[in-house]
Amino acid sequence: MRLHDVSVVAAGAALLVCAAGCASAAAPSAQRAAQDFYAAVQGRQVERACALLAPEAAESLRTGDQRCETSLGGLDLPGGQVRDVEVWGDEARVRLSGDTVFLHRFPQGWRVRGAGCASRGVLPYDCEVST
C-alpha cells in the first residue's frame, strides 16, 4: 500500500467511526424531541406541539382557514413508551409502543417530520402528520 492509499483508508475508517458515534450521541436528543412532542399532544398543549413540528409538517396541517393547532388537536396520536431510536445524520426515527415518529435536525434542534405513522411493509410509512 502506498502512503496515499493508507491516508484514504484511515480517513474512511475515521468517517465510519464518527458516523456511528455521532449517530449514537444524537439519539438521546432525538428521543427527547419525540417525547416532548407527545407530552404536548397528550397535555392538549397544541400550540407547543405545533412549534415542535418541522415547518413543512406544520404547514401540512393547515387546511383552508384551519390552523395547525386545530388540526393537530383533532388527531388521535397514540404515542407510548420508546422502543428504539435510530439516527442517520440529520434524520431520525423513534419507534414508540403505539406510534413511529420521524424527525429532522434543524439548527434549532430536532423537529417532528412525521407522526401517527404506521408501517406498510416495503412501502413508505403512512403518517397522519407528514411533510
Question: What value does the mean pLDDT of the chain take?
Answer: 84
Three-class SS state of 52:
coil
Domain count of the fold of the chain: 1
Amino acid occupying residue 77: L
Q: Which cell numbers hold the place of 122? A: 416495503
CATH number at residue 54: 3.10.450
Specify if 31 maps to a domain: yes
- Residue 51: the pLDDT is 96
Bridge partners of 101? Answer: 94
By the 8 A CB rule, do 113 and 104 touch? yes
Specify if 49 maps to a domain: yes
Specify if 63 maps to a domain: yes
Look at 49 and 10; give whichever has higher pLDDT: 49
Region of 79 (left: φ > 0; alpha: ψ -120 to 50; beta: rest) is: left
Specify if 101 maps to a domain: yes
Q: At residue 47, does pLDDT exceed 90? A: yes
H helical segments located in 3-74: 3-42, 46-51, 55-60, 68-73
Specify if 20 maps to a domain: no
- Residue 131: the pLDDT is 82
Give the residue among 77, 63, 66, 67 at the shortest CA–CA distance from 112. Answer: 77
Look at 21 and 123; give whichever has higher pLDDT: 123
Which domain covers residue 65, as residue numbers?
Answer: 27-129
| Least confident stretch, 14-28, 42-56, 89-103 | 14-28
- Residue 74: the pLDDT is 87
Q: At residue 52, does pLDDT exceed 90? A: yes
Specify if 61 maps to a domain: yes
Phi and psi torsions of 82, nearest 5°: -70, 130
Radius of gyration over alpha carbons of the chain, in Å?
A: 18
Kindly report, residue by residue over 75-123, the tens digit of the pLDDT.
Answer: 889 888 999 999 999 999 999 999 999 999 999 999 999 999 999 999 9
- Answer yes or no: pTM beyond 0.75: yes
Element (H, E) at 88: strand 82-88
Specify if 77 maps to a domain: yes
Specify if 21 maps to a domain: no
Residue 23 confidence class, pLDDT cut points 50, 70, 90: low
